[in-house]
Amino acid sequence: MLDCQAFYEVLQSRGVDFYAGVPDSLLKDFCAYVTDHTPPERNVITANEGSAVALASGYYLGTGKPGVVYMQNSGLGNTVNPLTSLADVKVYGIPMLLVVGWRGEPGKKDEPQHVTMGVVTTGVLDAIGVPWEVLPDEQDAAAAAVERALAAMTERSAPYALVVRDKTFSPYKLKNKTKSPYEMTREAAIRAVIERLPSDALIVSTTGKPSREVFEVRVQRGEPHDRDFLTVGSMGHSSQIALGIAMQHPMRPITCLDGDGAVLMHMGGLATIGVSGATNYRHIVVNNGAHDSVGGQPTCAFGIDIAKVALACGYKAAWSVSSEEELASVWADFSATPGPVLLEVRVAIGARDDLGRPKQSPADLKVAFMGAIKAGA
């Protein structure tokens, strides 16, 4: 396995010392090392991967030096526009080193949302003209791969990608974790919400651990899963999925159960919701200030006021709470005020180790969810 410190020092010794991106489970050890050993102004966890490409472009324009952009391969979709219309050699020609976690690599078992992207990852890079190679998991070979990447970046004045397989990096635990003053867990917050929702309410939950916790809470309560759409991929898009349903079923209560990283990734969606006039739309953002599903890397969500952002985007009302008591105290107003409305719930980082996963396939969950919509129409 590749030692995180040694690989970091290879990059540092060659003058590559600026990082931007969105954390990934396959890169979590290296990302954790970068977070612990790089000044914040040189390691920016961005809202989405396209923003990271733009940030690295600005860094290059300001310094003449290439930066590193890290991401899960699912994030390649967010980078296609800036990679092809900004960094591409036929446009501005901006070198940068892409470090891409290869979820869903062919021949390796993974979650359904990663399978297709795993198959097409290298083809996407080929299609948009980004040279690539798999990062070796041995130190000397990895250093040689970095040399080839830097040489190609310099010669072409364009991006180059290192594709990272599972278990390439040796384990490293993040030391500088987000400090959360909040005691309520995300699962407790989700349980408190589900307990208070009307029986006909539909939930669209965001990707990662929140959807797994929705599933677990339903199991614990002996309830079916047909009123829940568990978004297993498509980070940042749950709010628009929920809006699409709400607009077609204006008499049905629709709740989007979102996360801070997901809201940040596509924050422009708040404006679309705010001006929609969807009176049946309820947006709950469970904010733990971290990318909890991929190693606990911090987001900037504790540094902004999500409720005020929602109000500025046209939401009719917004609240922010940080305990079950506060949640209970505002719930009557939250549930009675015509939407779109937003409730931010600030919680502690982390999840229990034995958190389960949905037993049904995404396709089966979709069929059941659509059946619940039809039955209640």
DSSP 199-227: TT-EEEE-TTHHHHHHHHHHHHTT--STT
What's the pTM value of the predicted model, to 2 decimals? 0.92
Comparing 4-164 with 186-376, is the CATH topology the same? yes
Residue-wise pLDDT tens digits, 137-169: 999 999 999 999 999 999 999 999 999 999 999
Q: Domain coordinates of the chain in residue numbers?
A: 4-164, 186-376
Least confident of 110-114, 160-164, 179-183, 248-252: 179-183
Q: pLDDT-derived band of residue 199, with 50, 70 and 90 as boundaries?
A: confident
> Confidence class of residue 356 from pLDDT cuts 50, 70 and 90?
confident
Smallest Cα–Cα separation from 135: which of 123, 117, 127, 147? 147
Check residue 233 and give its pLDDT.
Answer: 87
Dump pLDDT digits (tens) for 101-114.
999 999 999 988 99
What's the full length of the chain, in residues? Answer: 377
Residue range 11-35, pLDDT digits in tens: 999 999 999 999 999 999 999 999 9
pLDDT at 377 over 70: no
Give the pLDDT confidence score for residue 98 in this predicted structure: 98
Supply 123's token pair.
């083809």
For residue range 285-324, list pLDDT tens digits in order. Answer: 999 998 887 777 889 999 999 999 999 999 999 999 999 9
* pLDDT (mean) for 231-247: 95
**What CATH number has the domain spanning 4-164?**
3.40.50.970
CA distance readout (Å), 241 to 136, 183, 198, 272, 315: 39, 30, 20, 12, 17
Rounded Cα distance, 229 and 258, in Å: 12
Mean pLDDT of 69-89: 97
Average pLDDT over residues 186-192: 95
Q: What is the mean pLDDT of the chain?
A: 95
Give me the pLDDT at residue 292, please: 80
- The pLDDT, as a whole number, for residue 196 is 96
Domain 186-376: which topology? Rossmann fold (3.40.50)
Q: Model confidence at 358, in pLDDT bands (50, 70, 90)? A: confident
Tokens 């600026």: give the residue.
Answer: 18
What is the pLDDT at residue 354? Answer: 85
What band does 376 get if pLDDT is binned at 50, 70 and 90? confident
